[in-house]
Every structure is written in C-alpha cells, then in structure tokens.
Structure 1
Amino acid sequence: MHTPSATPAPRPLILASTSRYRRELLERLRLPFAVQSPEVDETPLPGEAPAALAARLSLAKAHAVARLHPEAIVIGSDQVADLNGSPIGKPGSHERAVEQLRRMSGHSIIFQTGVAVVCEASGFAQQDLAPVRVRFRELSDTEIETYLRAEQPYDCAGSAKSEGLGISLLSAIESDDPTALIGLPLIRTSALLRAAGLDPLQALAHSLAGGVSP
C-alpha cells in the first residue's frame, strides 16, 4: 500500500530589517520568521531616482542576509519618499521633521516602497515596487509642531505615521497595496513568497497539521 510522503517543512523565513513597523506587518501573515539587520549602506547613488533607490536597496538588503543564510527565504524592503523627483528619507530629528513637513505641505508625495524576496539555495530572486501617492493638506506651523510633539515620527520617511495621528495631516491616499505606506506591501510580499515556494496559507496548514502554532 502506497503511503503518501509527508509535506516537506517550509524553508525558514527571515526579515532583513530591524524596523518594528515591518515586523508587525509581517506578523499578519502568521508565518514564523526571524529578524536580522542587513547592514547595507543606504546612501543614494549620484542622480539616483527615489524609485530606483528603493528597488536597489530592498534587493541589496535581501541579498546581504541571504548570503549569510543560503537555505532561508529572505525578505528585504526599503521605502523612499519622492517629492518632485527628490528623495526624502527619515528625518532623525525634530528640526529636520519640521523642515520635511513644511516642504510637503500642500503637495503630493509618492512613497516608493520596494520589496524583494531572495533564496540563495534555490536561486530565487525577485522584487517589486509599490508606489503610494499621498496628498498633504496645507499645514500651519502650529499643526506641524503639535503633530510632531505628539507622535515623534523621526524614524519614518516623510515624518508622518499614516497608521496613527499622521492621517490627520493628509487629504488623500492612493494605493493598490494598503500596507505599503507603513513599510511593507503585504499583497506584493505574499505574491513573491508564493513564487519563492512559501505560500502563507499552505505554511499555516502545515503548521496546524503538525500541532505547532505559527
């Protein structure tokens, strides 16, 4: 009598980022994963467009960690805010955040969020880009100061957290991948993981069958 072979366990998954926002987003897929800093230089190349920078860095981060863990499937991601073709990064300080929000007041910004999935052992390496167009209201200096003191978004590209009070600074968000603005486009991430051989629902079924919680 033929006994069906057991479904092989999925490859380990690693998020090549120490961002708590990306970690919290990836947890929504209910996949067990580790986190490792990719140690990648994020300096833009001369004349590099924001979309190209986000795409390059997301892939570089995934490759950097995949080289250390060749059997794993590694997710890399990067986000660059694009104001009229100029990249806007994380402010890092209150003063720079004030400057960024003054520049963006009344303007549309495109947040370019890149995601890449790499597995050295299988030779898989693919990436995608999820642009999100955000329109800021005309903001007064008092509104900017009040918001920054309340939320202190100094580790966020563009100096605003759309998932928090920062939503009050905006007049519109246009996106086909809603979590991209927070830092990890989960629709595209899920598609890349399936292409790499790690389907979140199949992995969950395997985990449940084995009696192990994801």
Structure 2
Amino acid sequence: MDQFSDLPRLILGSSSSYRKELLSRLGLPFEVIVPDIDETPLAGETPDATAMRLAKEKARAVAQKAEGALVIGSDQVATLDGEQIGKPGNHENALKQLQKMRGREVIFHTALCLWDGRRSDPYEAAQLRNVQTIVTFRDLPDTELDAYLRIEQPYDCAGSAKNEGLGIAILKDIRNDDPTALTGLPLIALTDMLRHAGVRFFGLK
C-alpha cells in the first residue's frame, strides 16, 4: 500500500519556484495551483498584516477550487523603518532597494497559511502564522551591489536578496527561528500545521 494513501490532497498555492523546492524537501506528494488574487497592500495596512492577509487569501482562493484539499498559502513582505519593500521587478529598482538597506536591519515577515478544506467553518479551516526574520545587510559600495545584481538578478525576490544563492554574500547577519523562512516557506511552522491537520511523516500511521 502507498505510504501516503490516506494523505489528503496537498496543494501549494504559489507560483514561486523557491517555495516549490522547499516543500519538496518534506517528501510529501503535492500539486501546485497558482492563486489569482490582487496582492496590492491595503491603505494603512501594516507590513505583517499584509503578509498574513495575502497568505490566507492565496490559500482560500485555491481551496475554493479544490474541495477537501489541504492548501498552503504563503507571502513575504520586507520592511525597513516600517515601510514595505516589495519585489523590485527590475535592476534599477533592485539597486535602489539595496542602497537603502545597506548597513541596516530589515525585517522580513513570512506569513504562512494552511487551509483545511475538510472543515466547513472558515475560522477552523485556517491555521495562520507569521515568522519574522531580522536581516542585517552589509554596508557595500554601489559597484559591488550592481555587480551582485547583474550576476544573481533577484528581481522576483522581496528585498532583492536570495539568501540561498549569491545573496548570502551581501548579508551580514540573519536571525530567526526557522532557517527556511527567509527563502519563502517556513518549513518548521508548516510541519507543525500539517501535523495538527493529521498528516503523518516518514510513512508511519
């Protein structure tokens, strides 16, 4: 018998290749469905509230299309002095981000939601958590920042730094309780949620 035969349908609600790679580390069979939501922050919304809301909306949007599934939604927002720092999208914006953050501490809010589609009550269906990571950027000159960006091209990453790649060279310090949170999917928190939802690991019943 398949060791995961009793596992509910597990879906990652994300277009991120980084989150897909992280989730694959757990060895659980899963699908990927990209949620279609507006990710614009609301007026007056705090960065952590934005991340939490979007993680939940992503999971819920996919769950509505997949009855009875466990759906994972995640969102990350970087903040400096309370200001949200999003995905740069291009080289010019990325350089401006890194210039602003060099020598400074930046807080990354990585929000995670596990939506249990087997539960009819939405308040009971959603497990939600925000994992914070405090990152100190090195005080580097523009020439190094520009060269880094041309090599790594992290234009789809909040804060313009891929800590799993060359971005680690522009970081001075990383502080958090979950080493995978900064990459985009806090696996320690996720395994807690999955266990709470009845998922068993290692093929054990």
Scaled by the length of structure 1, the TM-score of the pair is 0.90
Q: What amino acid maps onto 1:157 in structure 2?
A: A
Q: What amino acid maps onto 1:116 in structure 2?
A: C
Could you give the per-residue CA deviations for residues 90-124 of structure 1, whole angstroms, max 9, x where no partner exists? 10100000010001011100010000000222242
**Separation in 2, partners of 1:41, 1:200:** 34
2:71 to 74, 84, 101: 74
Q: What amino acid maps onto 1:18 in structure 2?
A: S
Q: What amino acid maps onto 1:88 in structure 2?
A: I
Give the secondary-structure state (helix, strand or coil) at the position aligned to 2:180: helix
How far apart are 1:139 and its partner, in Å? 1.6
Q: Unaligned stretches of 5+ in structure 1? A: 1-6, 207-214
CA contact (8 A) 1:91 1:157 kept: yes
Q: Unaligned stretches of 5+ in structure 2? A: none
1:193 aligns with 194
Could you give the per-residue CA deviations for residues 132-158 of structure 1, whole angstroms, max 9, x where no partner exists? 000001121001111001100001000
Q: What amino acid maps onto 1:128 in structure 2?
A: R
How far apart are 1:191 and its partner, in Å? 0.5
Give the secondary-structure state (helix, strand or coil) at the position aligned to 1:111: strand
**Separation in 1, partners of 2:100, 2:5:** 52
CA contact (8 A) 2:86 2:158 kept: yes
CA contact (8 A) 2:71 2:117 kept: no
| Pairing 1:40-55 to 2, within 5 Å after superposition | 40-55=37-52
**Separation in 2, partners of 1:141, 1:8:** 54
1:129 aligns with 130
Q: Percent identity of the aligned residues? A: 53
Give the secondary-structure state (helix, strand or coil) at the position aligned to 2:37: coil
RMSD over aligned CA atoms reads: 1.5
CA contact (8 A) 1:190 1:199 kept: no
Number of paired residues? Answer: 199
Scaled by the length of structure 2, the TM-score of the pair is 0.93
How far apart are 1:200 and its partner, in Å? 2.9
1:161 aligns with 162
| 1:172 lines up with 2:173 in the alignment | yes
Q: If you compute each CA radius of gyration, which structure gives the higher value, 1 or 2? A: 1
**Separation in 2, partners of 1:56, 1:70:** 21
Could you give the per-residue CA deviations for residues 170-191 of structure 1, whole angstroms, max 9, x where no partner exists? 1100010110000000000111
**Separation in 1, partners of 2:161, 2:6:** 40
Q: What amino acid maps onto 1:127 in structure 2?
A: L
Could you give the per-residue CA deviations for residues 70-94 of structure 1, whole angstroms, max 9, x where no partner exists? 2110000000001111111110100
**Separation in 2, partners of 1:85, 1:108:** 11
Give the secondary-structure state (helix, strand or coil) at the position aligned to 1:178: coil
CA contact (8 A) 1:10 1:198 kept: yes
How far apart are 1:8 and its partner, in Å? 6.5
Give the secondary-structure state (helix, strand or coil) at the position aligned to 2:92: helix
1:31 aligns with 28
| 1:112 lines up with 2:120 in the alignment | no
**Separation in 1, partners of 2:198, 2:119:** 10
